[in-house]
Structure 1
Amino acid sequence: MKRVHVMGIEGVGMSALARLLLAEGVAVTGCDLAPGKRTKALGVPAYAGHDPAHLAEEDTLIVPTPIPLDHPEVAAARAKGLRVLRRMELLAHLLSGRPSLGVTGTHGKTTTTGMLASILLQARLDPWVLLGGELALLPGNARFGTGPRLAEVDESDPLFQGVQVFVAVATNLEADHVAPPGHRAPNYHGSLEELKAAMRGFLEKSQVVVVPAFDPTLLALSHGLPRRLFGEGGELWAERVELGPWGSRFLLLHEGRVLGEATLGVPGAHNVRNALAAALAALAFGVGAEAILEGLAAFPGVGRRFQRVGEVNGAWVVDDYAHHPTEVRATLEAARRLGRRVRVLFQPHRLLRTQALWAEFVEALALAQEVVVLPVYAAGEKGKVSPEGLSQRIAEGLQRRGVAARFLEGEEALAYARATATPKDLWLTLGAGDVTELAQRLAHEG
C-alpha cells in the first residue's frame, strides 16, 4: 500500500486514518461530498463529490461504511485492479500483530479512548491513537507514535468483529445501529442478535476483555473469555464519588486496595464509568497506578462532549454529541447539576434511528425544562416519514408530557434561542449532525 484514495475523507474516522497513513509515508488523495477543515488540515489533494475520474495512480481505495460497494467510484477502482478496503478492514490491518488496545460500545467509546490516550501519554509510551472525535492532547483525531496502538472501534460497522487487539474494551451495548425490520444498510446490523454476535466476535479475538460488571448483556457475551470487570462487583471500582458541575473526584480501588484519588475535568456519573473502563484497560496493559491517575486528571475532554463553547446574553452555551436516548439522558443529568434552566436545541440523527427510538427520545428529553426540536439530520438516509414529521412527533410527545417544546427549523431555532436567552439559562445543543454549527453561531454571532 503506497498510494491510497480515501472516499469520505472529511469524516472524523476517515480523516484520522488518512492522517496515520500519511505519517507512515503513504501518499494520500481523497474526496468528499463536502471537504472541510479536516481535509484542509491534512494538506492532501481532495476532490468535492465522488467520481471515478478521481482515481489516477493509486493502488488502494479506502471506502467508508455507508458507501455501497456497487458505487461507481468503487466499481471503477476494481476495474482498474485497485485493492478496495472498507475502513474497518484498513483498521484491522493497521492493528494486526501489534501491541494494541481497542475500545467499542454504544456509548462512551470516544471518551474512554481519549482517557486511555491521556493515560498512555502520561506513561510516556508514545502511543499511536485513532479517535472518533477531536482531542487537544493529540492534537486532533489521531496521533502517530511508535508505541502501543490504541483505536476507537466503531460497533456500528458490522465489520468491527474482524478487528483484533490485545486488550478489548466494551463500555456497554444497546440496540443502536440496528435496522428496523425490512431495512438493510451497510452501516446497520440486521438485528440485535447480529449486533451481539459481532460484539462476541470482536471480544473473543483479544487476549484480555474489559467489560462492566454491572452490564448483563456484556457479561453474557464475554462469558468464558479472559475478562476483567470494572464497576461494583468487579476488580476495579470507585468509592466516595463526588459529582461536581464540571467534573468529579473519587477514590479508585483495585481489589480492595486504594490506588489513589482520581479527579476528572468532565462531568457526570457516566464519565466516572468511562474512567473505570480506561483505568482497568491500562492496568491490563501493564500501566502503573500513578500514570493512570495523572492521565485521568490531565484528560481535557473530547470535542463536542459537554463542551462549553461560549455565552449568549449571559446564558451558557454547551455543545454535546449525544444522539441516542441513553446518551441524551446522561448529558441532561449532568447539565441539571449546573443549577441553571436547561434548554435544549435537539437535532435527531438518522431517520431509521429516530423512527425506531422517537418515544425513548421523548422520555430522555423530558429531563430538560425546554426543548426545541430541529429536523432530523438524515445523513443520506431516506424513509417513509419525513425528517420534519419525525421531529414534530418528538415535540408533540414532549408537549403531552407537559414539557415546553416546539419544532423549529435551524434559522428559526437560532433566532429564538438568541432572543430568549437569559443569565439563568444553559442552552445545550444535542446531536451528531450539524447542530454544532448552531452552538458556535449562538455563542459567537450577533
Structure 2
Amino acid sequence: MKRVHVMGVEGVGMSALARLLMAEGVEVTGCDLAPGKRAEALGIPVYQGHAPEHLKDEDTLLLPTPIPPDHPEVAAARARGLRVLRRMELLAHLLSQKPSIGVTGTHGKTTTTGMLASILLEAGLDPWVLLGGELGLLPGNARYGQGPRLAEVDESDPLFQGVRVSVAVATNLEADHIAPPGQRAPNYHESLEALEEAMRGFLKGAGVAVVPAFDERLKRLSQDLPRRLFGEGGELWAEGLEPGPTGSRFLLVWEGRVLGEARLQVPGAHNVRNALAAALAALAFGVEVEAILKGLFRFPGVGRRFQKVGEVGGAWVVDDYAHHPTEVRATLEAAGHLGRRIRVLFQPHRLLRTQALWEEFVEALAQAQEVVVLPVYTAGERAQVSPEALSQRIAEGLKARGVAACYLEGEEALAYARATAGPGDLWLALGAGDVTDLARRLVHEG
C-alpha cells in the first residue's frame, strides 16, 4: 500500500486514518461530498463529490461504511485492479501490528478512548491513537507513535467483529444502529441478535475483554471469555463519589484496595463509568496506577462532549454530540449540576434512529426547561417520514408532557436563542449536523 485514495475524507474516522497513513509514508488523496476543515488540514489533494475520474495512479481505495459496493467510483477502482478496503478492514490490519486496545460501545467510546490516550501519554508509551473526535492532547483526532495502538472501534459497522486487539473494551451495549424490519443499510445491523453476535465476535477475538459489571447484555456475551469487570460488582469500582458542576472526584478501588483518589475535569456520572472502563483497561494493559490517576486528571474532555463554546447575553452555550436517548439523558443530568435553566437546541441524528426512538427522545429531553427541535440530520438516509415531520413529532410530544417546546429551522432557531438568552441560562446544543455550527454562531455572531 503506497498510494491510497480516501472516499469521505472529511469524516472524523476517515480523516484520522488518512493522517495515520501519511505518517507511515503513504501518499494519500481524497474526496468528499462536502470537503471542510478536516480535509483541508491534511494538506492533500481533495476532490469534491465522488466520481471515477478522481482515481489516478493509486493502488488502494479506502471507503467508509455507508458507500455502497456498486458505487461508480468503487466499481471503477475494482475494474482497474485497485485493492478496495472498508475503513474497518484497514483499522483491523493496523491494530494487528502492535499490542493494542480497542474501545467500542453504544455510548462513551470516544471519551473512554480519549481517557486511555491521556493515560498512555502520561505513562510515556508513545501511543498510536485513532479517535472519533477532537482531543486537545493530540494533533486533532489521531496521533502517530511507535508504541501501543489505541483506537475507537465503531460498533455501528458490522465489520467491527473482525477487529483483533490485545484488550477489548465495551462501555455498554444498547439496541442502536439496527435497521427497521425489511430495510437494510451498510452501517446498520440487521437485528439486535446480529449486533450482539458482532459484539461477541469482537470480544472473543481479544486477549482480554473489559466490560461493565452492571450491563447484563455484555456480561452474557462475554460470560465464557477472559474478561475483567468494572463498576459495582466488578473488580474495580468508585467509592465516595463527589460530583461537581465541572468534574468529580472519587476513590479508585481495585479488589478492595484503594489505589488513590481519581479526579476528573469532565462532569457527570457517565464519565465516572467511562473513567472506570479506561482505568481497568490500562491495568489490564500493564500501566502503573500513578500514570492512570494522572492521565485521568489530565484528560480535558473530547470536542463536542459537554464543551463550553462561550457565552451570549449572560447565558452559557455548551455543545454536546449526544444523539441517542441514553446520551441525551446523561448530558442533561450533568447539566443539572450547573444550577442554570436548561434550554436545548436539539438536532436528531439519522432518520431511521429517530423514527425508531422518537418517544425515548421525548422522555429524555423532558428533563429540560425548554427544547427547540431542529430538522433531523439525515446523514444521507431516506425514510417514509420526512426529517421535518419527525422533529415536529418530538416537539409535540414534549408539549404534551408540559415542556416548553417548538420546532424551528436553523436560522429561526439561532435568532430565537440569541434574542431570548439571559443570565442564568444554559443553551445546550445537542445532536449532529448544523446544530454545532449554530452553537458557535450563537456565541460569535451578532
TM norm structure 1? 1.00
Separation in 2, partners of 1:96, 1:340: 47
Matches within 5 A, 1:20-169: 20-169=20-169
Q: State the match for 2:432 in structure 1.
A: 432
Separation in 1, partners of 2:139, 2:4: 23
Matches within 5 A, 1:303-322: 303-322=303-322
For 2:416, the aligned partner's letter is: Y
**1:105-129 CA distances to partner (integer Å, 9 max, x unpaired)?**
0000000000000000000000000
**1:396-435 CA distances to partner (integer Å, 9 max, x unpaired)?**
0000000000000000000000000001100000002221
Separation in 2, partners of 1:215, 1:432: 27
Contact kept, 8 Å, 2:410 with 2:434, in 1: the verdict is: no
**1:39-75 CA distances to partner (integer Å, 9 max, x unpaired)?**
1111011000001000000000001000101000000
Contact kept, 8 Å, 2:158 with 2:195, in 1: the verdict is: yes
Note if 1:229 corresponds to 2:222. Answer: no
Separation in 1, partners of 2:75, 2:93: 22
Separation in 1, partners of 2:181, 2:444: 43
Q: State the match for 1:389 in structure 2.
A: 389
Could you tell me how far 1:98 is from its partner in structure 2?
1.6
Q: State the match for 1:297 in structure 2.
A: 297
Query: Aligned to 1:428, what secondary structure does the other structure show?
Result: strand
Note if 1:377 corresponds to 2:367. Answer: no
**1:180-214 CA distances to partner (integer Å, 9 max, x unpaired)?**
11110000000000000000000000011000001
Runs of 4+ displaced beyond 4 Å? none
For 2:90, the aligned partner's letter is: L
For 1:46, the aligned partner's letter is: V
For 1:350, the aligned partner's letter is: R
**1:73-115 CA distances to partner (integer Å, 9 max, x unpaired)?**
0000000000000000000111114200000000000000000
Separation in 2, partners of 1:438, 1:290: 41
Could you tell me how far 1:139 is from its partner in structure 2?
2.1
Contact kept, 8 Å, 2:344 with 2:368, in 1: the verdict is: yes
Q: State the match for 2:421 in structure 1.
A: 421
For 1:385, the aligned partner's letter is: V
Contact kept, 8 Å, 2:213 with 2:234, in 1: the verdict is: yes
> What percentage of aligned pairs have identical amino acids?
83
For 2:378, the aligned partner's letter is: A
Separation in 2, partners of 1:305, 1:368: 18
Query: Aligned to 2:132, what secondary structure does the other structure show?
Result: coil
Separation in 1, partners of 2:120, 2:279: 11
Query: Aligned to 2:261, what secondary structure does the other structure show?
Result: strand
Separation in 2, partners of 1:146, 1:68: 34
Matches within 5 A, 1:262-277: 262-277=262-277
Separation in 2, partners of 1:232, 1:111: 20
**1:6-64 CA distances to partner (integer Å, 9 max, x unpaired)?**
00000000000000000000000000001111011110110000010000000000010
Unaligned runs of 5+ in 1: none
Superposition RMSD in Å: 0.5
Separation in 2, partners of 1:301, 1:395: 30
Could you tell me how far 1:289 is from its partner in structure 2?
0.4
Q: State the match for 1:336 in structure 2.
A: 336
Separation in 1, partners of 2:314, 2:14: 38
Q: State the match for 1:248 in structure 2.
A: 248
**1:209-250 CA distances to partner (integer Å, 9 max, x unpaired)?**
000001000000001000000000111000000110010000
For 1:128, the aligned partner's letter is: W
How many residue pairs get aligned? The number is 446
Q: State the match for 1:326 in structure 2.
A: 326
Separation in 1, partners of 2:127, 2:161: 23
Note if 1:183 corresponds to 2:163. Answer: no
Q: State the match for 1:17 in structure 2.
A: 17
Query: Aligned to 2:90, what secondary structure does the other structure show?
Result: helix
For 1:271, the aligned partner's letter is: N
For 2:158, the aligned partner's letter is: P
For 1:363, the aligned partner's letter is: E
Q: State the match for 1:410 in structure 2.
A: 410
Q: State the match for 2:203 in structure 1.
A: 203
Unaligned runs of 5+ in 2: none
